[in-house]
Amino acid sequence: MFAPPDQYIPQCIVDRRPVMVWLIAVTGTVLLIALILGAPLALANGHGVLGLIIYQAFSYLCHQIPERSLFIAGHPLAVCSRCSGIYAGFATALLFYPLLTSLSQTETPQRKWLLIGALPLALDFSLGFFGIWQNAHVSRFATGALLGAVAVFYIMPGLTDLSLRWRSLAGRTSEKTQPQAASTTKVNGASGPSDYSAPLRRI
């Protein structure tokens, strides 16, 4: 006896959640880059209110010192050159992420690689802070881009793991709220457990 088609469980299921997480992350990052570049362009094209709103939003994330910022159309970007490098490096590594590793990867690299990626930025900042060496836009942007690129390989596995855990928890919650009814069949007027509730008894 065979089970009805609606009771069969497919053996090969393609989980699209990692792809969706990656697409959402790419969309959000591209939007941030567009806003960073759009702030000076908005001012240059007479949209002062829009530009000031973007600058104000990013002021909570960056000091926005003009002397430490890159310029477009005569106006500084919405963030400094170091933050611009972090966003640019993150966006670049995120776009190429599927080519470098599996989107289903939930294990992060060893922490030492994150520290190594942050070391050039820390040195560049420290040397400039103590007046040992005057850093420039190139060094700030490059060290920020390196850290941003490395951070992708720690953030994406975490986001993927959260998406997988959230779906599992949601499934368990729905199972607990649904009433559990025993499957029974009637044979010659007597009711008993169905063969579909005991797969081992199937022929």
Written as one letter, the residue type at 152 is: V
The reported pLDDT for the residue numbered 128 is 86
Q: pLDDT tens digits, the chain, 203 residues: what are they?
A: 555 666 655 555 567 899 999 999 999 999 999 999 999 999 999 999 999 999 999 999 999 999 999 999 999 999 999 999 999 999 999 999 999 999 999 999 999 999 999 999 999 999 988 888 888 999 999 999 999 999 999 999 999 999 888 766 555 555 555 555 444 444 444 444 444 455 554 44
What is residue 129's predicted lDDT score, i.e. its pLDDT? 85
Residue 3 and residue 101: Cα distance in Å, rounded? 40
Q: What is the pLDDT of residue 176?
A: 58
Per-residue model confidence (pLDDT) at position 134: 86
Tell me the pTM. Answer: 0.76
C-alpha atoms less than 13 angstroms from C-alpha of 86 in its C-beta half-sphere: 14
How many Cβ atoms sit within 10 Å of the Cβ of residue 189? 5
Q: Kindly state the tokens that stand for 6.
A: 């609606």
**pLDDT for residue 137:** 94
* Whole-angstrom distance, CA of residue 134 vs CA of residue 144: 16
Residue 165 pLDDT: 87
Print burial letters for 162-181: b (CB count within 10 Å at least 16), e (below 16). ebbeeeeeeeeeeeeeeeee
Residues 6+ apart with CB under 8 A from 178: none
**What pLDDT is recorded for position 203?**
46
Res 15: pLDDT: 78
The conformation of residue 190, written as its DSSP 8-state character, comes to E
